[in-house]
Amino acid sequence: MKTFAFPPGYIDMQRFGLIDAILGRRSRRFFMGAEIPDGIFAYKSRHEAVPLSELEKLLVVMACGGNSSWHYMIYRAARYAPYLSNYACAAGGRTFPSSAGFHTSRTFFTDDEGVYLLDARDTPAFAERDEDGSLEPDVLLEVLQHHVRKLEDGRLILPPEVPYVEAHNTWVVNHPGTLLVIPVGDLAQHTLLNLCYMLQNGLVASDDINRKSIPGIEKFKDIVDVNNCWPLTFVEQMSLAELTAELSTSCYAGALTLQAMGLGGWMFNGIDPFSILGASGNPAVPGLRFRYDMDERWPYPNPTGLEGVMEGFCPPHYPDMRAAVEAICEKKFGPGGPFNPQTPGPWKNSAKVRSAAEVHTESFRECVAFQAQYIRDTFGKFPATTPSIFAVVYLQAHHLDLEFYDTFYKPGAYLSTHAQHMTRWHPEGD
């Protein structure tokens, strides 16, 4: 792994204020090497594209998807007290929140050199906090390097043209010199975890699309009120909204970090989500190369996973939904899981805390799997109405062309960190 010589800009970044980052955040799109060929902002950069250094790249990626020591858990629910809430699916915390600690997304990224995965979703803490609660970024960065996996050489094959990229982004997205961060969510996993959450809180799903209860659900009346239902469409809409919040806050953490580092860029959703995953239908535009399926019942292709990299918690990556439920339980209660007493943690008696959650019983698992399998059998996919794998928001980072802003904007269009970036981060012109 690379040992970094930290430039002066690294110290500037650590001293940069949170309020300055929040108030200073803007979408700053025009990068060194860019061109807007026409219109009121027609301009061609005098500079060659300048890729981010390895340190800059990893710092942005760490902000978007890095580990921030241990997840602290959800403590109590009146319905099943005194047991500890067992919603979480990962023991480690990350730089952004996730509903009930589900953490069902992974962080992909691409630059001129390759396509990568930050494989840190299911890791334990990268480091323990100091007594004052702080973490050392350079320590986290050193560990993070071990969790970066190169998937292929060269920039992601996603041409900056319609229909793969929206028309207003073709001049700027995924061009040479830029870093594109792509959080990808497992919506199948997230929806399964919500079915677990519902059952633990006395709810089951109903099929409001076909206007009926799930046939046979009454056999679980000894563990749940089978008439206490949430409609399937609501469950899936809620899961989609929760996962979208996870992906968005991942990118927002990165966007704030851009201000502290003096990098240009912005968070956005102007890329076709199916094309970026690999479901464009054009073999020449493979995107991230996720497997996808088609069915006349569905309005769009359904990505399900990338073998050996990110496999959705649904068939064909599992033989059936019961197997997917068992895999969820293994993540929760098995080795390294948040509710395994052998997993370390931040508490004075971490084994006692992690043992305080109730392990999902056989009947609990069967009830969740029964609902999930009905959805899969009825609609041909899981979830029924949303993609199994989901991407919607991205972060791009690049070196800002200050001359563009000096030409068109009043003073104040960029921060002092942007003005000083090249001298503070690249003092020798590297």
- pTM recorded for the entire structure: 0.97
Per residue in 87-134, pLDDT (tens digit) is: 999 999 999 999 999 999 999 999 999 999 999 999 999 999 999 999
Specify the residue for token string 């996730």: 98
Per residue in 206-240, pLDDT (tens digit) is: 999 999 999 999 999 999 999 999 999 999 999 99
The three-point CA angle 340-245-185 to 5° equals 60
Q: What is the DSSP string of 97-161?
A: --GGG---EEEEEEETTEEEEE--TT---SSPPPTTS---HHHHHHHHHTTEEEEEESS-S--SS
- Per-residue pLDDT 10s for the chain (430 aa) are 677 889 999 999 999 999 999 999 999 999 999 999 999 999 999 999 999 999 999 999 999 999 999 999 999 998 999 999 999 999 999 999 999 999 999 999 999 999 999 999 999 999 999 999 999 999 999 999 999 999 999 999 999 999 999 999 999 999 999 999 999 999 999 999 999 999 999 999 999 999 999 999 999 999 999 999 999 999 999 999 999 999 999 999 999 999 999 999 999 999 999 999 999 999 999 999 999 999 999 999 999 999 999 999 999 999 999 999 999 999 999 999 999 999 999 999 999 999 999 999 999 999 999 999 999 999 999 999 999 999 999 999 999 999 999 999 999 999 999 999 999 999 876 5
Helix intervals (H) in 262-361 = 273-277, 321-333, 350-354
Two structure tokens written together for 407: 């030409």
Two structure tokens written together for 53: 């250094």
Cα(394)–Cα(180) distance, rounded to whole angstroms?
Answer: 7
